[in-house]
Amino acid sequence: MVAESDVITLQMECTLFFENNPYAIETSSGLSKRLGRSQQVTEQALNRLAEMSILEKNGQGMRAIYRYKAPYIQTEVDLNAYD
C-alpha cells in the first residue's frame, strides 16, 4: 500500500513540474522516469490532478498523455466596472 502522503507529495511534484514546464506532454511512465518515482504512484497522482482539472488527460491506460491546463487568468479586471 502506498502511503497517502507519498501520493500527495507526488501530486505536488507533478504540479510543480507542469507549472515549470507548461508545454510538457507526458505519459505516466515518462514522468515517473523524470521524477524518479514509481510508475504506479505517478499514474495515481496524475489521475488525481486530471480530476482536479489541473491536467488534461488524453487517452487511457499506459498510453494516456497528460498536459498542463493553464488556469483561468484575467490580468485586468476593472474593479469599477459594473458586474
Partner 1 sequence: MIDTHLMNDTREICQELQDTYAQLTSLLVFVTNHEGQLITAPSNIEDSSVFDKYASDLKSMFKTEIDKLQGIRHTILSDQWVPGVKWLIAPVSVDQSATGLYVWGGILIQQGTLQSIITHPNYLQPESGAPADFIELMRSWIQNSGEISPEQEIFKREKITKFAKALSLILKSSFKETRLTERLNALNETLITEQSTGNPIEEITRAVLASSDLADIFGFALKTAPGKYTIMNSMGMGANALGGSVFHEGEGFLGQAVLSPQPSRWRDISRDPRNHFFQQKGLDSVYEVQCFPIRYENEVYGLLFGLSFKERSVPSINPQFEETMISLMGWYIGNHITYEKMEKQLQRFKPLIELSRMIISVQDIQRVMFMLVDMSLNLVWNPSASIVVHRSSEDGKIQMVARGMQSPKGETYAKDIARRHLDNSDKPSAHSFINSNTPFSLMLEYPIVYADRTRAVLAVAVSNEQEGEECREILSALAMMGSVVMKSVHDRQQYLSNSNRFAHILHESIREWNIAHYQLTADAQKIVQEFAMWGGISKEEADVIGRACLMSCTDPSMLRSFPHLFQQEAEMIEDYKHIHDDQSILGTGSYSKGGQIMALAFAIASAGDHDMRVVNDLQINGVDQGLVSQFRLFVLSRHTLQTEINLVEEKAPAAQTLTAEGAEGRGLDAIVKQFGLSPREKEVLELVVKASSNKEIAATLFISEHTVKNHLTNIFNKMGVTDRAQAIAAVFNKSIG
Partner 2 sequence: MQKKKAVQTGIPGLDDILYGGVPPGAVVILEGEPGTGKTTFGMQFLVEGAVKHNEPGIYITFEELPEQIYDDMTGFGWDLRELERQNKLRVICMEPDILLEQMLQPHGLFEQIVNEIGCRRVVIDSISLFRMVGDEEDVRTNVYSIRNIMRKHTLTSFFIREYSEFEGMSMPFENYICDGIVRLSLKPLMDKYRKRTIEVLKMRGTRILEGEHTYKFIHNGVYIVPSLSMAEDKMLIRESEVLSTGIDSLDDLLAGGIPRGSVFMIDTNSKANYRYLLSSIYSQRIKDDDCTVTMMSGNTSLDTFADTIELFGVSLREAASKGKAFFIEHYRRAVESGLEKAIIRVDKVTNEEYAQVLNERLNPIFECEELCDKRWFVYYDLNTIISERGKDFLLRYFAEEMSMWRSLGITIVVHCNFAEIGTETASFLERTCNGVIRTWVDGNYQYLQVTKSPSGRVSAPHIIANVAEKPFVQLI
Binding residues for partner 2 (CB under 8 A)? 20-27, 30, 34, 58, 63, 65, 67
Q: Which C-beta is closer to partner 2: that of 29 or that of 53?
A: 29
**All 3 cell numbers of residue 19?**
507549472
| Rounded distance between C-alpha atoms, residue 68 and residue 83, angstroms | 30
The DSSP code for 57 is: E
Please identify which residue in 23, 60, 61, 73 interacts with partner 1, judged by CB under 8 A. Answer: 73
Q: Which of residues 2-61 bind partner 1 (CB under 8 A)?
A: 3-5, 8-9, 11-13, 15-16, 19, 49, 51-54
Task: Indicate whether 76 belongs to the interface with partner 1 (CB under 8 A).
Answer: yes
**Shortest Å distance, C-beta 63 to partner 1:** 25
What residues contact residue 37 under an 8 Å CB cut-off, 6+ apart? 10, 13
- Reduce the DSSP state of residue 3 to 3 states and report it: coil
